[in-house]
Amino acid sequence: MFEPNSYPLFDRRTLLKGAAGAGLLASGLSMIAASPVRAEFKQNPFTLGVASGDPAPDGFVIWTRLAPEPLQARGGMSVVPVDVSWEVSSDSELKQVIRSGTAVARVELAHSVHVELEGLEPGRDYFYRFRAGGIESAIGRARTLPASGAEVAQVRFAAAGCQQWEGGYYTAWRELARENFDFVFHYGDYIYENPFITVDRQGRAFPRVLPKDFSTCISLTDYRRRYALYKTDPDLQAAQASCPFLSSFDDHEVSDNWAADTVRDVPADAFLFRRAAAFQAWYEHMPVRRSLMPRGPDVVAYRRFQVGTLANVSVLDTRQYRSKQPCGDGFKANCAEADEAGRTMMGAAQEQWFADGLRTGTPSGQAAWQVLAQQVLFAHVDMRSFPWLTKSEGPVVDLDAWDGASAARGRVMGILHDAQVKNPVVLTGDLHHGVALELKQDWRDSAGPCVGVEFVATSISSGGDGEPVMSNAQALHSDNPHLKYVSNQRGYHRHTVTRERWLADFRAAEQISAQDRPMTTVKSFVVEAGKPGLVNT
Ligand SMILES: [Fe+2]
């Protein structure tokens, strides 16, 4: 009998028994270890839940990972490949199974499985489940995208991210799970790579405490254990089981404010090994397609999702190809380097890909709404009023965001203009504030035309409880006339989109330092199709 909890990880006796059970000749351990077996588990191996992602009109990915002891280096698994069977059904109780099969969970990928479904019907719900060693996983709900070119009446989705585990309870994920969204855009900071810390920057104790042996994520094992910890949370599991995710990454999946092949003063020849480990763990834990499997330190994660002719969602990667932050990074005034023409946030290839996707005549170019689903603040924002910054007479900007590469932002605005995109909507994370902004062709001309909008979803838990009214809110508004709303509460954004209007609801938790506190819609905006700008509701 194969015992996945046996430790040390390589156990000849259980391997041989497992191989015999699979009907194999036990002539050599290397052959045996490469042959999948039907495992038996003493404990539930589905401790990290199930997930679906990267929907298409005819399918999606379903994901799980076997980890009976999730915080162990290998999740309590041995090196033996294990058969994981899966079923997909059109009903929530899996009575009518329409697809089934077996995937092999391998130690090389932390016993994760990514199954890509195809040939399904567009625009409808499906349900799925895994089984290993006779134990069933939870049932997850997935949903295909509408048919390409379909006249879709409405799409409902959420934008969420920034979920530092120790920062607070995942009340927002619990609430989101109840919404049965068409999909969720996750803008990154799925994990935080930080060392063992028990207090936040203000010295307040975190509501949750990391395991004592956790330290800064550097190795593949470090990152895997961090994902495993986060994914043991039942509210996150409920959210991931509720609908497909469009997964992306920001900085904390690798290291705080990394940029391309470096972070701070760590050179590429050292950093890229860490990035490779971080990306492997990211892939292992995200419901993404095989095309997003990293090759060493590289992963092509920018991609496009078409919601019929209603919306075209471009998921961007603003980390891997960007110029290093100018002027030594941070929040600073008078950084001339930030305005240099050669700076980039997406890299030339991704910029070209983005422009190509908007070309008139392509299905995506005809979409009613063009969505830039990305990570860091796109609009210019003068942040000089934040009390923790050094006082400044001039604008202070976040050099890690698009304000640190104004020419790159200008090129994206040019691409949108040239393609005659009438309704660009930028979705953003990173800031840990809920923000609504109007995009200006010229940021110095506050009375000038608005060319699009940006919604910065706050954070699921990063930043602690926060407060609905910030002490510098008034100053932020007067320094930034195009900023229409700002708050510091934890939650997510709910977007309900029709051909005529885009409704954005800012969902916020009363408190996340305690469990099960209520969530409410604290602000809503409407954007009317063809009339860029934010309308209060
Ligand atoms: Fe974050």
pLDDT digits (tens, 9 = 90+) for 68-105: 999 999 999 999 999 999 999 999 999 999 999 999 99
One-letter amino acid at 126 equals Y
How far does residue 189's CA lie from ligand 1's centre (Å)?
A: 5
How far does residue 193's CA lie from ligand 1's centre (Å)?
A: 11
Rounded Cα distance between 274 and 281, Å, is 11
How far does residue 37's CA lie from ligand 1's centre (Å)?
A: 40
Q: Which of 305, 488, 315 is nearest to 388 (CA)?
A: 488
Pairing mode, if any, of strands 155-160 and 140-143?
A: unpaired
- Does the pLDDT of residue 23 top 70, yes or no? no
How far does residue 188's CA lie from ligand 1's centre (Å)?
A: 7
For the chain, give the mean pLDDT: 92
Res. 38 pLDDT band, cuts 50 70 90: confident
H helices of 359-483, in order, are 406-418, 473-479
How far does residue 415's CA lie from ligand 1's centre (Å)?
A: 28
How far does residue 490's CA lie from ligand 1's centre (Å)?
A: 12
How far does residue 253's CA lie from ligand 1's centre (Å)?
A: 10
- Does the pLDDT of residue 12 top 50, yes or no? no
| Residue reference for tokens 């330190």 | 297
- Does the pLDDT of residue 57 top 80, yes or no? yes
How far does residue 401's CA lie from ligand 1's centre (Å)?
A: 13
Pairing mode, if any, of strands 369-373 and 424-428?
A: parallel
How far does residue 458's CA lie from ligand 1's centre (Å)?
A: 9
Higher pLDDT, 138 or 8: 138
- Average pLDDT for residues 337-361, to the nearest whole number? 94
How far does residue 464's CA lie from ligand 1's centre (Å)?
A: 12
How far does residue 162's CA lie from ligand 1's centre (Å)?
A: 4
- Does the pLDDT of residue 4 top 80, yes or no? no
How far does residue 432's CA lie from ligand 1's centre (Å)?
A: 6
Tens digits of residue pLDDT in 320-343: 999 999 999 999 999 999 999 999
How far does residue 416's CA lie from ligand 1's centre (Å)?
A: 27
How far does residue 285's CA lie from ligand 1's centre (Å)?
A: 18
As a three-state string, the secondary structure of 237-283 is: HHHHHHCEEEECCCCCCCCCCCECCEECCECHHHHHHHHHHHHHHHH
Tens digits of residue pLDDT in 132-172: 999 999 999 999 999 999 999 999 999 999 999 999 999 99
**Per-residue pLDDT at 161:** 98
User: DSSP letter at 518?
Assistant: -
How far does residue 492's CA lie from ligand 1's centre (Å)?
A: 13
- Average pLDDT for residues 499-508, to the nearest whole number? 98
**Per-residue pLDDT at 52:** 98
Higher pLDDT, 441 or 499: 499
**Per-residue pLDDT at 370:** 96
